[in-house]
Structures are given as C-alpha cells and as structure tokens.
A and B are shown apart, each in its own frame.
Chain A
Amino acid sequence: MSNQTPVIELKNVKKSFGPVEVLKDVNFTVRAGEVTALVGDNGAGKSTLIKGLAGIQSYDSGTVLFDAKPVELTSPRQSSELGIDVVYQDLALCDNLDIVHNMFLGREEVNAGVLDEGHMESKAASTLTSLSVKTVKSVRQKVAKLSGGQRQTVAIARAVLWNNKVVILDEPTAALGVAQTEQVLQLVRKLADAGKAVIIISHNLQDVFAVADRIFVLYLGKMIASLKTSETNQADVVGYITGTKSQEDGA
C-alpha cells in the first residue's frame, strides 16, 4: 500500500510571521492507509504546518500536491472539499447541540427545505456502529454531557462520516485517561485500516509508537527526520525532537 502515490505531498513549503521563519523548506508526505505521526517540540512548526493543510493559514511558498495534482489551500472550505478534515485539540464541537447535530454541522441534510432528522440520525448511528463505538449510549445526547473520550470519538466519527481522504488529529489523546486513550488509538488505527490517510500530532511518543506507521520530526521549522516506526526507537526520536541528532539524507 505504501508504494502508491502519496495523497498529500508538500515540497519546500515555507511560512514566516514577520522576521520569524516558522517553516523552512519543509517536505512532508502522507499516504493512504497509513498513520503518519508529526512530532516536534513546542514551537517546532507543527501547528503552522497543519493550519496550512486545513486552509486556515496558507503557506508563503512551496508546492502542495494532492493526489499528485498541485492545489492551493486558501480557505477551510477548499480543504474540506478536497476531503481534508482536521479534528482539533479543542474539538470544535458545539456543546449545546446533540451528537447528530454536531456530526452534520455545516452539512445538514434537508428534504424539501426541512431538516431530515431521521436520515441524519440513522447515518450518524451507523457510522458510530461501524467504528465499533460502544461508549456512546444515545446519538441524541447533548455533547456537553459527554466525557473527553466520547467527545473525541464524536469528532473523529464526524471526519469518517464525511468520507474524508485525509484526517488530521491534533493531540487526540492529550486530555484523556488511560482507557479512553486506548479507545481513541484503536479508532485511529481503524481509520487507517479503512484506507484513509491519517495524520496524528502528538507529544506522547508512546501513543505515536503504538499507532503510527511513519514518524516525521520537525525541529525549529525544519523537517529533520522521516522514519518508519518499525525501523526506529523512542530514544532516537527523542534525539531528533531535542535536536541532538539529525538525519543526513532528510525527508
């Protein structure tokens, strides 16, 4: 599977805020069916890289190839039309709405101008079922009443529901307990197994090693390592993150 053309390929991407160069000639590839981890210390440029893909903040220069075709990502709408969805750390869910409403937010289904609640409800329920989600009792619960893990589950399920090609998870396990982390990681693996390209940003190397196929390391705006999880270990990755180690041939 890993031999096919990458879904996303970034070439020599640059971004600066005033005099500060946040991304310096970054190369990054993401393949379908794989979990790609993006790691790096605070301020390394992870968020900036992701914001570019999400269309929130476009890159200054460089090429973005999506399915081998060059694209410009200048608005969140554009990214989501291509099938790139970001599940943010702060989750971007509306607490006052229920699970179905949140999963269909911005893409509600209507029938003769009227919301088709029944249809949306059954689609939401079957998506959650297909992800073997067992922790959510009713799809008509208000999101405010859910636990952190359940909220994360809803956010990920939304990305699945829309049949996205690329799902970007920003610190999906940061606020979760042990059991909930385990559930979310299983969900992440399931996404990749279903043929989606998954990008996961995490500070938790244990999680990264548990779930990722490839690891990219950003250090001060440079992509200093691109590794296969099976061919590396935690000590090496920590070395790259802290800058005590570097990979000659780059990414």
Chain B
Amino acid sequence: MSEQNAIQTGNEGSFLEVGRDYFKRIKSGETGSLPALLGLVILATIFALANPIFLKPINFANLLTQAATVTTLAMGLTFVLLLGEIDLSAGVTAGLSAAFLAVSMASYGVPWPFAVVISLILGMFVGFMIGLLVAKVGIPSFVVTLAVFLAFQGLQLVVVGKGGLIGIEAPPILAIMNRPMPLSFGWILLLIILVIYVLTSLISRRQRSNSGQQNKPLSLVLFKAVIILVVGGALVSFLNLERGANPAVTSLKGVPYVVPIVILLLAGGTFVLNRTKFGRHVYAVGGNAEAARRAGIRVSRVRITVFMISSTFAGIAGILLASRQASVDAAAGRSIVLSAIAAAVVGGVSLFGGRGKLTDAVIGGFVIAVIDNGLGLIGLASGLNLAITGGVLLLAATADAITSRKSKTS
C-alpha cells in the first residue's frame, strides 16, 4: 500500500539524518527543553565551583527530594497548561491533602494506605469542582483557582486546628522522602526502565511496520538505550555511595524511595499524553479548542478531566510534602505552586497551550530546585533566591511568547 508513496512520513533516513533533522528543528525554534537542560548544566557548574558541597552525594540526594515535590506539582500543572489554562490552587490543594492525610492518621487513627487514598480522592474531587466551574459555567480558570487558593488556605487552617502543626508518624509515609531503598533496588529500577523502554519501542515499531509504514533507524533506539544506561548507571552508583554524616551510627546510601514514584508518574503521564486518544485531545483542545469542538471532541469533558489530573498530582505532591517535613502546618504548600508553574514554563511548557511535555516539567523542576539548593549553599539571602527564580521565570516566559508568535505568523 505504500510502495508508491510520494508523501514522506519523516521516518525515512539514516541515523545521521535523524540527527541533522533534530538540529534543524532546534534552529527553527522548536527547542523544547534544551535551553533548560543547558541552563541546568551551567547552574550546576557554577554552584559546584562556588561550593564543593554541591557535588557531595548528600546534597545530590537532598536536591532530588527538594525537586520531587515541585516536579510532581509541575507535571500535574503541565496538563492544565497544555489546555492554555492555569491552576493557581494546586499548591493549597497539596497542602489540604497533606492536612487531611495527617489529621486522618493522627486524630482518627486511619491506617496510612487509607489515609493516602482519602487525600488523593480529595485532590481529585477538588479538580472536578474546578473543572466544572471552568468548563461548564465558563469562569476563567485564573479566577476559579484563585478563589480556591484563598478559600482553601482558610479550610486548611480549620483542618490543622489551633495547634498549627500535626506530626506524621507512619514509617512508610516518612520513608518516601527520607529513606533510601536497598542498594540493589536502584539497579533493578534501572533495569526495569531499560526493558520497558526497549520493549515499548519495539512494539510500536512492529505496529508501524505491520501497517506498511517505515520506522526510524533501529540504531536510534539503541542510542537512546545506551544513554539511559550510562546516565542512569552513573546516577544509581552515585546515590549508592555512603552519604550519612556519621556512617558508623546510621548508614545512608541508596536511591531515595521518591525517585521511582516520580518516574512512575512521569512514565504514566507521558504514555497518556502521547499514546492515548485522551492525550491527543488535550493537545488539540490546547491548540485550537474550536477546531477540537468541530471535530466532535467533547471539550468540556477533556477540561474537567485535566483539572482532575492536575489536582490529583497536587494530592500526591501534598503527601511528598508531608513526608519531607514529617509534619503538616497550616501554611503547607502555599508557596510551592508558583515554583511549580515556573518549573513547567522554564522547562519549555507553553503558557499559551498545546505545546509541552511532562519531561519538560521534570527538567524545569530540577532547574528551580538547583537554584534553590545552590543559592542556599552559597549563602545568599533568601530574598535574592526568590528574585532570581522570578527572573528565570520571566526569561522562560519571554522565550515562550516569542516562539509562540513565530509559529503563528510563519
């Protein structure tokens, strides 16, 4: 059926040509998360030179857990940003979920798995309400989520109560952010990721060749697999080094438990966005909502679902927050939403909708975490830290605006 196809599919060409295409795309402005990745390397170099502690295993593990909360929130927000909407309430939703988690365990003796489910359902429900108000009533998401942002701060105060602080005691919850996995688990995790990557690539290649379509060169899959192996291997071995302050008393080595959780969310979310009908519809609604409606896509249903996803991710971020601080206070989560939006935008997710990936949010999350962590190590005043984060966000938003304008007029 495709012998005489004059029309190409972009999958022709050798390994080198694929590489050349990639650089051509970058030149034409489709940079994705490349600037953020470069920025990450530059920042890390600066901080490493300024303070050698930056490169110590203990700080790297610290950085991972610092980044985890922002990254999780940013991944959820990416769904919303893809629609060209915004969710200012994600941070307080995280805080409220954390408060529910803490209160249900501390005051009502709910076992931790149920407490986790309760806080996630709470998150999902919040998203449903926001989605309903945005999609069905037609209130701009900025206003709805701003209202939720304000209202939930009050609600959180009520839930947390007069004490102002509720401790978390369940060991599994505390372990997420504070304990490393056994050394072998890191390697097993890497192996699983590698196998899944190769398998899904091969399956989708088979699917394509079954319908008579050409595939990208096999060497590309191999190339990416090697990169995963080398980078992942380096990270796992680094995290498996001893990083405890006093190894004789408490040994601390291994990949933190939060890492596989974030990877799972990243992989699951990416699968939904790239490989399912729903994901395609999210991009379509973000690109041109009217076109999507005319094509028969149920736009409001997509909107509501996206807000539910974002708030559920916020719920997960809340659990991470509670785990890291081992407690929940009345202001938990309030400030991180802006970092998370900054993370997504810095990573390359467009504020105008329709453009961006979850990996962008993860890379952006690391940029924000590195700024935070590195400036702290250098010993700069925290006011400067906020100012620099704001500046980086503005820079990223400027790049986003210029790229969007370019692709509209061309």
Contact = CB atoms under 8 A, between A and B. Distances in A.
B292 A115 contact: no
B276 interface: yes
A94 B7 contact: no
Interface string B189-219: 0000000000000001001111111000000
Contacts of B27: none
A105 B291 contact: yes
A17 to B, nearest CB: 21
Contacts of A101: 280, 283-284
Interface residues of A, number: 43
A118 B11 CA distance: 11
B246 interface: no
B407 interface: yes
Given A94-B288, A95-B287, A119-B211, A76 B296 contact: yes
Contacts of A247: none
A139 B213 CA distance: 12
Interface stretch (A121-129, A194-202, A211-219): A121-129
Given A95-B288, A125-B9, A126-B2, A117 B208 contact: yes
Interface in B9-64: 9-11
Nearest to B288: A94
Interface stretch (A57-65, A130-138, A173-181, A225-233): A130-138
B107 interface: no
B250 interface: no
Nearest to A110: B277
Contact of A115 (B277, B290, B297): B277
B212 A115 contact: no
A136 B7 contact: yes
A144 B1 contact: no
B276 A115 contact: yes
A244 interface: no
A93 B9 contact: no
A29 interface: no
Given A96-B287, A137-B8, A116 B211 contact: yes
A129 B293 CA distance: 28
Contacts of A97: 280, 283-284, 287
A76 B291 contact: no
Contacts of B207: 111, 116-119
A92 B212 contact: no
A145 interface: yes
Which bracket fits the contact residues of B?
35 or more
Contacts of A245: none
B7 A138 contact: yes
B249 interface: no
Contacts of A95: 287-288, 354, 407-408
A58 to B, nearest CB: 16
A94 B213 contact: no
Given A125-B5, A128-B7, A93 B280 contact: no
Contact of A77 (B211, B212, B277, B296): B296
Given A121-B9, A144-B408, A96 B354 contact: yes
A139 B8 contact: yes
Contacts of B6: 129, 134
A126 B211 contact: no
B286 interface: yes
Residue with the greatest number of chain B CB neighbours at <10 A, chosen from A114, A133, A139:
A114
A119 to B, nearest CB: 4
Given A92-B294, A134-B6, A118 B210 contact: yes
Contacts of B208: 117-118, 121
A125 B10 CA distance: 12
A64 to B, nearest CB: 20
Nearest to A147: B410
A18 interface: no
B142 to A, nearest CB: 22
B147 to A, nearest CB: 30
A236 interface: no
6 contacts: A76-B296, A92-B288, A118-B204, A121-B213, A129-B5, A139-B10
Interface of A: 76-77, 80, 86, 88, 91-97, 101, 105-108, 110-111, 113-119, 121-122, 125-126, 128-129, 133-134, 136-142, 144-145
Shortest beta-carbon contacts, A-B, top 5: A106-B295, A118-B208, A140-B10, A94-B287, A96-B354
